[in-house]
Structure formats: structure tokens, C-alpha cells
Structure 1
Amino acid sequence: MNFSRRAVLGGALAGFGGVAASSLLAACGDSGGGGSATSEVTFGSNYSDSVPKAAMAAVLGSYPNGKNVKVNTVDHNSFQENINRYLQGNPDDVFCWFAGYRMQFFAKQGLAGDLSDVWSEVGGNFSDALKAASTGEDGKQYFLPFYNYPWGVFYRKSVWQQKGYAEPKTLDEFKALCEKMKTDGLVPVAFADKDGWPAMGTFDYLNMRINGYQFHVDLMAGKQAWTDAKLKTVFDTWRGLLPYHQPGANGRTWQEAAQSLLNKQSGMYVSGTFVGEQFPGAELSDLDFFAFPEINSEFGRDSVEAPIDGFMMAAKPKNGAGAKELLKYLATGPAELAYLKSNPTNIAANKTADTSGYNALQKKSAELVGSAKHISQFLDRDTRPDFASQVMIPALQTFINKPDDVDGLLKNIEAQKKTIFAS
């Protein structure tokens, strides 16, 4: 089932009702625990694009009990937008999800299974930071990391070498480079937000570069007012950059924006390393990136947006034993490397994984993440899912179309934030 983001936001799923949870992901059972390691395990997957879907198939194909894993794949955006009703219905035994606040939100509601016993066996494979990102407010672990990937400013090395471009370290240098690209006939910055979430990456970087990581965390937790002058500075700065961005972003998918970079029509693209999925074969070696430029010297470039993807277990899995065995396998280096072999745009979460085969993009990604003072999880993962989908998606799209009324936009966000965070 492949519902567009606009249909969801427009309320087209309001009548989906009882069939949403049971049919959306072809879910299984609502009885607790039980089962066995060798009986059927259902796996709810949001790996719907061709490259990650094939990579996940390779991972599960290497699992000794892989023939007993029933995979239910759903369009990535539909999965995210319907996750709440999915978990309140009959979710799969194991499902794909994200670390940090997004995990904690459902764990707090009792919609996720406790994986502390799994962590007692596999915890040595992960850093303390990854364990913290997998831990709920009650101190128990509810998430298993699989890989992560940084966001940066991507470009084609061959184009930059041909034009003589140099990496901009500051916002002023970035603007100067954009001006040069315009005179060279390039769209300086590829841009897309049809799916609602891509523009969040640009917002996060502008906010962290201007106001710092802690302000970002507090803002996402509802502890800062959106009417604060600091946010006006963020949007005013962004408005000054929009003329360098690809027009018509709300009608363009991230894949289409990536194609403009691939086809040498755009000079840069603010995105995650998954942009490499659009670069076939040898073309991937021509893809490079740099950290988002400094704006405020107080914070420099100390924060990196590097979301952690992984897995969770249903609160009441039909096959709890089988689910945990599958998760233990997914926590191994070989499992992660099986994925990365088919999708070499991410970096393994398992610290024991053999990284000797990393390509240049992966090596640079690991260096950037490893050197970061702060790692954020992305706007729609660092805040409540209802606030991200119901408020921030339409707000950012409104800004992209009509960027002049920043005060009105921020007042509207703040009013909705108060209502949502009070619930």
C-alpha cells in the first residue's frame, strides 16, 4: 500500500480505521511472548526503495532461519506516517525504526518490547553512545542499532575539479560559491521536499550552526518557544539562501533532486549519504561531501546530523523467542556487512564489524561521525512524531512556498506545539 504524504496529511486515511493497523503491514498476532527460535517471525520493513530493499533481502538471506522470516515491506513514508496506529494494532514481531526520541516515545507508551536481555548478550558490539540512543526513559533498552549515516553537503568531484571549486568552510564562502555556480550555469543547491522530511535536514543544520546542539534538543523536546528570536534568525538566514536552491521543491522527491546532482545540473545537495543510492556503479566514486558550513563561531561545525537506523520488537510479539534470535543475528558484524555490501552508503553500528572494505564515502562518513562533538538524529526523530508530521511538515513546505511571513509562521508553529506537547 503506497499512500502519498499529501493524502495522509489531507486526512484521506481518517477512515482507514480498523483495517489500518491490521492490514497496513500485514501484521501478526497480539498475544505475548512465546514462540520458538525456529518458527515463523514477522518482520515489518520500511526498506521499500530498490537498493535498500535488496540489501535487506541479502541480510535476511544470510540468517540461518531466514526462510522462516516473513517480510512485510511498506512504502517508507507510509510506514512512518502510520506507525502509531500500526503499533496500537497488531504489529509484526520485529520492525524497522529509529533511535533516540522516536524510540523513547513508543517505549514510554508501552508499545515496544524490552530488549535488555538481548543487549546483555550483544551490548559489547556497540559504543556507549549507541546504547544511550537505544535506551528508554526507564533505563531499559528497546532498540537495536544497525547502521547510521551522516548528512552533509554532497557534490560530484569531477564537476568541482573541472570548475575549480573549493570546499566552503563558512556561510559567506558558501554563498560566494553559490554565486559562482550560478554564473557557471548550475543550480547551486539541489532541493526537494515533496515527501515532507528532506527540508528538515537543512533546518536542523541551520539551527545547530546558529544556536547550538543543546538549543536543538530543547526545541525538539518542546522546551523552547518557536517565537524565540533565535528561530527568526534561522528562518531569515534560510530565506537568504533559498534563491540558490532548486525551485519547485515541494513538487520534487529526494530521488529526483539527487538525479539533478548525478546529471551535473546541480552543484551541491544537502542530504544524507543515502543520496549515493542514486549513483550507479562507478559513478559512486565521484560522489563526495563536506560538513555543513560554520555560521556562528561559538558552535563552529561541532554537530553532525547522523540518524541511527535499526530495529525494535513489538510489545507483545507472537513469536518473542524467534524475534529475539533474529535481533541477536542483526546485531552481528556479518549481518551489518551483508547489508553494506549491497548498499555501501552507510556505516556499520557494530564496532567489531570489519570496515577494511569501506569505500571512500564510508570512510569519510565514519571520520565525520567519529569526530563530532554532538550527533543529532534528525528533526522527525528528535521530536514527537505527531509534532513532526502534523506541524513541521506543512510548516516547512509553507515556508518554502512563501518565505516572507516568518513571524506568522513561527506563531503558528508555537501555538500548535503547545497543544501537542500538553497532551
Structure 2
Amino acid sequence: MTQQSRIPAAGGPGRRSVVNGLMGAGAVALAGPALAACGGGPPAADPKTVTFGSNGADATPKKAYAALTAAFTKESELKVKTNTVDHDTFQKSISSYLQGTPDDAFTWFAGYRMQYFAEKKLASPIDEVWETIGSGFSEAAKQLSKGADGKYYFVPLYNYPWAVFYRKSVFQERGYTPPATWAQFVALAKKMKKDGLSPIASGYGGGDSWSILGAFDYLNLRANGYDFHMELMRGDVAWSDRRMSTVLDLWREVAPYYQSGAGGRSWQDAAQSLLDKKSGMAVIGLFLGQQITDTALREDIDFFPFPEIDPAHGTDTVEAPTDGFMLSRKPKNAEGAGKFLEFLGSPEAEGIYMGVDPSNVAVHSKADTSTYNALQKKSAELIGAAKHITQFGDRDSDPGFISTVVLPGLTQWLGHPDDGAATLKKIESQRSRFFSG
């Protein structure tokens, strides 16, 4: 799984324009044909068919989306023609796809990623859909579904929290207590290292450098608050700001307790070290559960919120990437697509999806949670109690800036963490290439 989705700050991307190409300078060149050529639906409008572009090519999400479209067809008698493309190709081709002949509805991410295409007029507002589904979603969910113009452009399906995961049996055997504050967290890491464990599992080698953003985001959110974090993500604050030095100082404090060799390890291997009781904790998403097939092992996994750093900000923000659906700019079957999106925003639809894919939790407040495992139930409670929901670094900001500037800078710094001033200055020197205004 890769990370790419968060709640927009007031004003959103309209306060600054992303430059140097549709997805920003340094973004991956768009492949285009693989996605665009398959989509578009029938050459002429077919009132009985809705076309749907999906990035759920892996076995489990593909099966879950198939269950959704079958249920919609049974309920509405409208056929859904699904165009499924693998996750990475979908993302690399999305701009060309949306500018060509896209499907009526398509899968995408909440927050900035959604706002960006809404601002570029490559998606249609769906306020009428929200008149039907709105009562089932929290204010936080509504916020992350709106464009910078205040209109709705997104229907959430599921999300999953990032937190600090651990094995209950390890904590019980060694007498550890889940920490609530930063001082307690650092003290626990020291104790784990003394006890022969790698305190914090970590793997950001190869294409997994995105995984460090979970820790970075939480450090910034806990130390500097939600508003500052979102301003930073949208290019409105300098990376050389003194508050960013605080973030790296905190990170440097726990760097000695990261698993050695993290730069050459995948996130899956790091997660496995937690499952194998070689590491004590992991800052990771609920998708950790994808690696677990044994029920007893799954029941031994637990998590606690990333600890409080500044009481002024507490733990009121939860990193919970949210996936869902959008409507293309000129859908061939606008009426049918609207009905499809209304269905996808129903508690029944979310229940159908989660019944096939238990590695996520439903966003709808009335979704059936009776079949949730313990981790899903706790995840839903954590997200539901959040004052703010962020998505993830490369979903809340320009993805080109994050992938070509921020991640190389931070991963290099993590290999040899110093005072961070040079790293922050280097990142700041590139900010204007991606943001203007």
C-alpha cells in the first residue's frame, strides 16, 4: 500500500496556485493511455449505464467494488461499467484521464487531492448528492469533502487511522504502559532499548520513503497544531520557520530508538518485526492488518494515539487518509452517476464494502459496525472523536513537492540527524517552484 490523502484548511488551494504543470513541477510524467484509453464509457450517452473508473485493482478492493456495483445494479437497475486500473498507474495517469474522456464517476482521495482537480474544473460539484447523504456524515467528513469554493466534490467511502501500534502481549509481559505524553513516549523507547527491543519499527527504503510522513505529520500537528500544519502543507509557511526546527529537534530526540537500517528496509518488513516481537512500537496505519491472517495474532495487536507534545494542541487531530469518489467534469450519464454516488454515500454501501475489506473503517456515522474486529472498532472511535482529520503529507500538499523535495531531504536527514537547519533551508529553497502567490 502506498500513501497519497486530509482536511482542507480554510480557503484551500485557492489561496495559492500550484504551478509548473497540472500536478506541480517535479511530478511524475503522466502515462495517460493505460487509464484514458480504457475509460470514457459508450460513445453516446446510455441512460441505463454508468461508467466507473476504479483504482482498486488488488484482489480485495476489486472484489469489494464488484460487490458495491452489483448491489447498486440490483437496487437501481442501472448497469455499472467498471474500468479498473492498478493504483500507481491510476495516480500517474489521472490528469490526462480527467482531461480526456473519463468515466462518469471515479475513485480518488479527499482533501487537497480532491480540491486540486475541483479548482481546475476537472470534476463536477455534487451538492445535490450531499442533500441526500449529508445527514450521515460528521462535520469533519463534510469539511474534507468540500472544494475551496465551498461546494461538495467528494463522497467518502472509508478511512483508516495512523497511530502507534504494538503487541498487547509484549506490553503485558514487560510491564509497559501506553504513553500519553511525549516525555512518557521517549522514556518508554529508552526502556525498550534497554530491554533488547528495537523500540520503533521503521522501514523507508526504496519506494517506501512515504512511510516517514506519518511520524513527521504527527510531530508537527502535536507540536504546532492543525492550522500551522495545513498552512505548511499548502505552501503558505516557510520550511525555515523556527517552528519547523522544533519538529526536527523532537524527531532527533527519538531517532536513536528507530530500528537500525531503516533506510534499506520496506515498511512491510518493519511491520513484520513488530509482529515478530523484535520491535516494540510502530507509527503506522491500520493497513498493518493486511499482513495478518491469524486471528489470535490480530487480537494481540493494539494501538494508542500519537502522544501529546503541547497541551494546547493535545491529540485532537487524527491522521486518517480517506478514500472515496468524485464525478467527472462532463459525465455522459449525469443523472445515473448522481444516483450511483448517492448509493455509494449510504450506510448500506459502506457496510457492503467493509464486509469484504476489513482493513478500513466506514466514514458514514450510521454504517453497520457489528462485524468490526477490535481494531476496526477502536479505529472508528479514534477517528469519530477527532476535532480535525488530516489525510497524509503527500495528499495534503503538492505531491511533486513532497516526492522530489521533502522526502529526499527528510530521509537523508534521518540517516544522520543533526540540527536540521541545512535540511530545512534546502527544502525551503524549492518551495517557490511548486507554490506561487
The TM-score bracket by the shorter chain reads 0.7 to 0.9
- Alignment-derived partner of residue 301 in structure 1: 315
- How far the C-alpha of 1:409 sits from its partner, in A, is 1.3
- How far the C-alpha of 1:328 sits from its partner, in A, is 2.0
- Alignment-derived partner of residue 188 in structure 1: 199
- CA offsets per residue over residues 114-168 of structure 1, 9 Å max, x none? 2222222222222233222211122221100112222110011122222221101
**Correspondence 1:112 to 2:123:** yes
CA, structure 1 residues 319+402, in 2 after alignment: closer, same or farther (shift >3 Å)? farther
Q: Provide the secondary structure at the position in 2 that maps to 1:204.
A: helix
- Alignment-derived partner of residue 374 in structure 1: 388
- Alignment-derived partner of residue 98 in structure 2: 87
- How far the C-alpha of 1:269 sits from its partner, in A, is 0.9
- How far the C-alpha of 1:334 sits from its partner, in A, is 1.7
- How far the C-alpha of 1:103 sits from its partner, in A, is 0.9
Q: Is the contact between residue 41 and residue 70 of structure 1 (CA under 8 Å) also seen in structure 2?
A: yes
Q: Is the contact between residue 345 and residue 361 of structure 1 (CA under 8 Å) also seen in structure 2?
A: no
- Alignment-derived partner of residue 280 in structure 1: 293
- How far the C-alpha of 1:321 sits from its partner, in A, is 3.6
CA, structure 1 residues 124+12, in 2 after alignment: closer, same or farther (shift >3 Å)? closer
**Structure 1 stretch 338-347 or stretch 158-167: which is displaced more?**
338-347
- Alignment-derived partner of residue 58 in structure 1: 67
Code of the residue aligned with 2:261 in structure 1: it is G
**Correspondence 1:414 to 2:425:** no
Q: Is the contact between residue 36 and residue 100 of structure 2 (CA under 8 Å) also seen in structure 1?
A: no
Matching residue within 69, 74, 97 for 2:86 = 74
Q: Is the contact between residue 145 and residue 331 of structure 1 (CA under 8 Å) also seen in structure 2?
A: yes
**Correspondence 1:317 to 2:331:** yes
- How far the C-alpha of 1:320 sits from its partner, in A, is 3.2
CA, structure 1 residues 252+71, in 2 after alignment: closer, same or farther (shift >3 Å)? farther
Give the RMSD, CA atoms, in angstroms. 3.0
CA distance in 1, matches of 2:407, 2:57: 21
Code of the residue aligned with 1:258 in structure 2: it is A
Q: Is the contact between residue 116 and residue 140 of structure 1 (CA under 8 Å) also seen in structure 2?
A: yes
- Alignment-derived partner of residue 272 in structure 2: 259
CA, structure 1 residues 285+401, in 2 after alignment: closer, same or farther (shift >3 Å)? same
- How far the C-alpha of 1:326 sits from its partner, in A, is 2.4
- Alignment-derived partner of residue 354 in structure 1: 368
- Alignment-derived partner of residue 209 in structure 1: 222
TM-score (norm 1): 0.88
CA distance in 1, matches of 2:387, 2:27: 42
CA distance in 1, matches of 2:326, 2:428: 32
CA distance in 1, matches of 2:255, 2:32: 39
Matching residue within 199, 202, 219 for 2:232 = 219
**Correspondence 1:167 to 2:178:** yes
- Alignment-derived partner of residue 125 in structure 1: 136
CA distance in 1, matches of 2:245, 2:93: 32
CA distance in 2, matches of 1:284, 1:250: 27
CA distance in 2, matches of 1:168, 1:22: 49
- CA offsets per residue over residues 156-184 of structure 1, 9 Å max, x none? 11222222211011222212212222233
Code of the residue aligned with 1:279 in structure 2: it is I
Q: Provide the secondary structure at the position in 2 that maps to 1:91.
A: coil
CA, structure 1 residues 332+256, in 2 after alignment: closer, same or farther (shift >3 Å)? same
1:3-22 to structure 2, matched below 5 A, reads: 14=29, 20-22=31-33
Code of the residue aligned with 1:350 in structure 2: it is H
CA, structure 1 residues 157+81, in 2 after alignment: closer, same or farther (shift >3 Å)? farther
CA distance in 2, matches of 1:263, 1:235: 30
**Structure 1 stretch 265-274 or stretch 91-100: which is displaced more?**
91-100
CA, structure 1 residues 31+24, in 2 after alignment: closer, same or farther (shift >3 Å)? closer
Q: Provide the secondary structure at the position in 1 that maps to 2:209.
A: coil
**Correspondence 1:41 to 2:51:** yes
- How far the C-alpha of 1:298 sits from its partner, in A, is 2.4
- Alignment-derived partner of residue 228 in structure 1: 241
- Alignment-derived partner of residue 10 in structure 2: none
CA distance in 2, matches of 1:412, 1:33: 52
TM-score (norm 2): 0.85
- CA offsets per residue over residues 371-420 of structure 1, 9 Å max, x none? 22322222222222332333223222222334336212111211211221
Number of equivalenced pairs: 412
Matching residue within 145, 151, 155 for 2:162 = 151
CA distance in 1, matches of 2:64, 2:191: 39
Unaligned ranges ≥5, structure 1: none
Q: Provide the secondary structure at the position in 2 that maps to 1:310.
A: strand
CA, structure 1 residues 403+356, in 2 after alignment: closer, same or farther (shift >3 Å)? same
**Correspondence 1:334 to 2:348:** yes
CA, structure 1 residues 251+91, in 2 after alignment: closer, same or farther (shift >3 Å)? farther
- Alignment-derived partner of residue 242 in structure 1: 255
Q: Is the contact between residue 319 and residue 390 of structure 2 (CA under 8 Å) also seen in structure 1?
A: yes
How many percent of aligned residue pairs carry the same amino acid? 49
CA distance in 2, matches of 1:352, 1:115: 21
